A and B are shown apart, each in its own frame.
Chain A
Amino acid sequence: MSGRRIADRGRIDRNRTISFSFDGKRYSGHPGDTLASALLAQGVTLFGRSFKYHRPRGVLTAGIDEPNALVTVLRGKKRDANIPATQLEIYDGLVAESQNRFPSLAFDVGAANQPAGKVFSAGFYYKTFMGPVVGPLRGTRFWMFCEWFIRRAAGLGRADHEPETARYQRMNAYCDMLVVGSGPAGLAAARAAAEQGKRVIVTELDPVAGGSAKWSGETIAGKPAAEWAAGEAEALADMDNVRLLTRTHVWGYYDGNTLAALERVGDHQPVATPGAPHQRHWVIRADTVVLATGAFERPIVFPGNDRPGVMLAGAAQRYAAEFGVLPGKRIAIFTNNDTAYAAAAELASAGATIAAIVDTRQVISAGARELAERAGGELLLGQAVSATSGGKELSGITVQQLDPVTGSASGAKRSISVDCLAMSGGWSPAIHLASQAGAAPKWNDDLQAFLPPDPAQPWLGAGAFSGDTNTADALRNGRNAGLKAAGGRASRAQVAKVEAPTLDPFPAPVFEIRTADGKGKALVDHQLDVTAEDVRLAHREGFLSVEHLKRYTTLGMATDQGKTSNVPGLAIMAEARGISIPETGTTRFRPPFAPVALGALAAERTGDVSPDRLTPMHDWHIERGAEMMPAGLWHRPRIYALPGETLEQAYVREAKTVRAGVGMVDVSTLGKIAVQGPDAAEFLDRVYTNKFSTLPVGKARYGLMLREDGLVLDDGTTWRLGETDFLMTTTTAAAGKVMQHLECLLDVHWPGLKVALTSVSDQWAGAAISGPDSRRVLERVVKGTKVDNETLPFMGIVYGEFDGAPVMICRLSFSGELAYEVYCGAGHGTHVWEALMAAGEPFGILPYGMEALGTLRIEKGHVTGAEIDGRVTARDLYLDWMLSKKKPFVGSAMMDREGLADEERIRLVGLIALDGQPLGGGAHIVEDNSRAEPNESIGHVTAFCYSPVLAKYIALALVRGGKARHGQRAFVADPLRNRYGPVEIVSHHFFDPEGSRMHG
């Protein structure tokens, strides 16, 4: 036991010692310690530097509300920043460092900001970065340069740039009742409902259940409160219908009684438990929620209230009672209410000397007086602390008489030498979740606090959360909430007896101590260095609304979300405006209640665990050395490169093979929708721009679909397999979108049509075989049908068999060559694919990938999703020949609007690079490159390739005016890739515009 460790109290395990480091120095603690309690026990007072002024800071609280003692935890190269030391459980080998100091915590050059404090007042950024209006540094450029240094000086922890290695898990849970908080109220509620057989989840943000019972020093049911709570928690954990989640904070309360919680599974462990995630993101749906989240103690705002050694009275009590640490040896209390007297008594009995109890009130209750006597020390009523002294730790306080009317301290100054000041400015119920789920909170004048709003969702409150001021009330209301949630009635049955001093539950309405000289910074928001003077300055500058105050001064906008500063800030604003606190208003709390790692929210939905869609022939492609590329969730072969080949060499070779002989590509990823029913043909007539009711059975037709607004939605071929049976294909990327579009039309607008839609994308495997030799390959392998020009003309469909597997063959061409698409059941996919490869061997057949597929279609001028980008019309793509004038179709009424029919829209053209260099997708087209940038863009490149048939770099592009520019010269401008050069605008039909090859 060293330093300030007490020999006998707290829940720490003194039999074991844990070794850890803070700022490179080794320290030790015990299991049960937080970083804050372990360091305090060894006399460390300085934990960090403040955000703007780099003032030395210690610990203010003992929990999640901590604004000062934020540290970064290092695990290898991973940096977990802005963790409250008061929340961080120590473990063997923990490496933590303080934040926002340079070069070291003790000697920090940024502290030079302190005397310059006036410069860094409220609205500093808004005022500064406007830049001077006149002079050589006019404008914002110079100020942007300065900003880099200022931002470096102001800030919190640094993030790392390493990939996330920890595993996060998402859990869904349902329960009859969710109890948030496991203090006396929460435990009583959970017990009552669980005994009625209800399924209950209890969450507790600390490692151990019990809440205030862990440090109150009261007696419940004849036992010390901490022991009672431990017994209750154990009893609950033993029940099959109860789940007790410790180290878990509920951070969001959403619609439908859906709550989000974060369980810190591995944060306190030196090495992760095998199989366990680092953190768990819980989504809990509860029939009823019992909010028993307790209350946060408020600091009093007075000059020097942020000096290390000044902390909340409840926190000081907690360090002594729960962690067995004395936060100081000679302690003063400064309070406006009775609760701090219990802290004084606890600290005295733990061995500290209480130097003085300074109370702003003239009169105190008998209970408080009795506790004061037990604590010892001078009782200074009607007085206030008006200053503190000391450097990196507190050495003394100044006490003056308090004027109860003006709230200012004046008169003779008395110095008291202390190393810790425990203050209490009253308590604010932790209404965050209720506020997220409901309306504006309600001000209570007696408690000088905001109480929860009326529930807009099924929740009940109990304990300090709903304004209970003693443990007996908390137990009773907790139990009643549990019974009520269980569908029963509140009962008057006896609850456990509580022995506690009788205290006055109401604080004096004192939030700030002002001094005559106005010297020294009186901090309201410790984390963002917002002072009382900043709030008043904001008021003087006209920021009256709470929302404006918050944004202008940044009050309450730090990682602690103003848990300690909200109400004091409002009180100071209310005073400045001469109105009451409720009239000033409060901001609505939003999720999260406390910071949540993005990794936890993403959980499993990232990286290598996202679902993959693989075609039936996937393994074959991999075995043949295909380089795969993503297409949505699909994986498709990009190229089948030979050793030493570049991407371009590979796709050029593949494309040449198709034009000269025969090649094959996996088209199983195309969207496929079975459109069936008596009205199927009529339905297709309505959704496609061209007619399908005239399509004979056994033939396919290319179709174009528009959206309701007249722009192009998708294209593809649809095959008539029977009188009432069609197979529609869509582009790979648009499959889901088209399906939804069609379903919506049928369900909502045309419910009378007898049509059934079925997605069959995964049921069919498809191979497109193209090239002048493709027919000869088919002839070698197909049984049961001929495939000659007569039996299988362009756009014809035949059925046959490949080595026992039934297939459907349609003569379609995307490449512009003689080509066929062979479809079979997905289970036969590889079999059919291999049969085709074997049959093609004498012809030198090669599989080809997406790059070659793209090259072939660019040469032909066929469009895909790159051109159909949601902004083009059919005319922009020169597909107006497909717009039927004989029937209305989706989009027909809107497609002729003035702006859509404009000839000067960007329209489809071809480009040829005149400098023999590759073009880039997304590059802009400009008319004139002689001027300095920016030049006016007249369009952009949508797809590009090296064309083997033209032996040139070509591209498809959307260019203003389209056809009218054929033969003109222009330039590509691609500043991102630094690619500039001349191009010729040509027809997008680069190759075989008559289509003689595919019809042959």
Chain B
Amino acid sequence: MRISCPYCGQRDVVEFTYQGDATVERPDPASIDQNAWNAFVYDRANPAGRHRELWQHSGGCRAHLVVERDTVNHVIHSVAFAGEKQSPKTASKRKSPSRRKAAS
């Protein structure tokens, strides 16, 4: 599996750390709603198919990315910075460094 980091370009999965489900919402810090916190900490859907996940480029720029990935065939549909309202498409379209020319 390779992930296109918006900063660093396409990199192998070994450079990344899985950081969990990106679909869960952290409740307001002051909230004492146990159900909301329980949902955030424990409840996971584990879908077979498209899923939004957090991956950190821990062996690179260390940014957290929201990766939309198909858990069945590992096809990655989009990559975007976490916490940014950035269109996933522009993020993944950004061109990676010219890897082909560099290698020989």
Contacts and interface: CB of A to CB of B under 8 A. Distances in A.
B96 interface: no
B31 A749 contact: no
A174 B100 CA distance: 9
Interface residues of B, number: 33
A750 B2 CA distance: 27
Contact of A748 (B2, B31, B82): B82
Nearest to A439: B73
Nearest to A173: B103
22 contacts: A174-B103, A255-B73, A256-B1, A256-B74, A258-B12, A285-B12, A686-B29, A708-B40, A709-B42, A740-B17, A743-B62, A744-B54, A744-B64, A747-B63, A747-B81, A748-B26, A748-B54, A748-B64, A748-B83, A750-B83, A889-B29, A893-B32
B6 to A, nearest CB: 13
Interface in A346-365: none
Contacts of A256: 1-2, 13, 74
A888 B33 CA distance: 13
Given A744-B19, A748-B83, A255 B1 contact: yes
A799 to B, nearest CB: 30
Interface string A449-466: 000000010000000000
Nearest to A438: B73
B2 A743 contact: no
Contact of B58 (A174, A740, A889, A897): A740
B37 interface: yes
Contact of A893 (B19, B34, B62, B74): B34
A686 B74 CA distance: 36
A751 interface: yes
B45 interface: no
Contacts of B54: 744, 748
Nearest to B2: A256
B29 to A, nearest CB: 4
A298 B99 CA distance: 44
A743 B83 CA distance: 12
Interface in A704-754: 708-709, 740, 743-744, 747-751
A894 interface: yes
Nearest to B65: A747
A623 to B, nearest CB: 35
Contacts of A888: 29-30
Residue from the set B12, B22, B29 with the largest chain A CB neighbour count within 10 Å: B29
Nearest to A751: B83
A709 B1 contact: no
Given A748-B22, A748-B83, 13 more contacts: A174-B103, A255-B73, A256-B74, A708-B41, A709-B42, A744-B19, A744-B56, A748-B64, A751-B83, A751-B84, A888-B30, A893-B31, A893-B37
B88 interface: no
Nearest to A686: B29
A892 to B, nearest CB: 8
Size range of the chain A interface in the assembly: 20 to 34
Nearest to B38: A894
Interface of A: 174, 199, 255-256, 258, 285, 456, 686, 708-709, 740, 743-744, 747-751, 888-889, 893-894, 897
Contacts of A748: 19, 22, 26, 54, 64, 82-83
A638 B26 CA distance: 43
Contacts of A285: 2, 12
Contacts of B74: 255-256
Given A255-B1, A743-B62, A749 B83 contact: yes
Residue from the set A199, A747, A751 with the largest chain B CB neighbour count within 10 Å: A747
Given A456-B73, A708-B40, A709-B41, A747 B64 contact: yes
A528 B65 CA distance: 48
6 pairs of A and B residues whose beta carbons are closest in the complex? A751-B83, A747-B64, A255-B74, A888-B29, A748-B82, A255-B1
Contacts of A749: 26, 83
A355 B70 CA distance: 59
A770 B30 CA distance: 41
B27 interface: yes
Contacts of A258: 1, 12
A633 to B, nearest CB: 15
A893 B63 CA distance: 27
A750 B29 CA distance: 10
B64 A893 contact: no
Nearest to B19: A744
A256 B73 CA distance: 10
A743 B73 contact: no
Interface string B28-72: 011110100100111000000000001010100011100000000
Contacts of A708: 40-41
A621 to B, nearest CB: 30
A743 B103 contact: no
Interface string B14-29: 0001010010001101
A705 to B, nearest CB: 15
A456 B74 CA distance: 11
B44 to A, nearest CB: 13
Contacts of B1: 255-256, 258
Nearest to B40: A708
A894 B37 contact: yes
B58 A747 contact: no
A194 to B, nearest CB: 14
Contact of A747 (B34, B82, B99): B82
A496 to B, nearest CB: 30
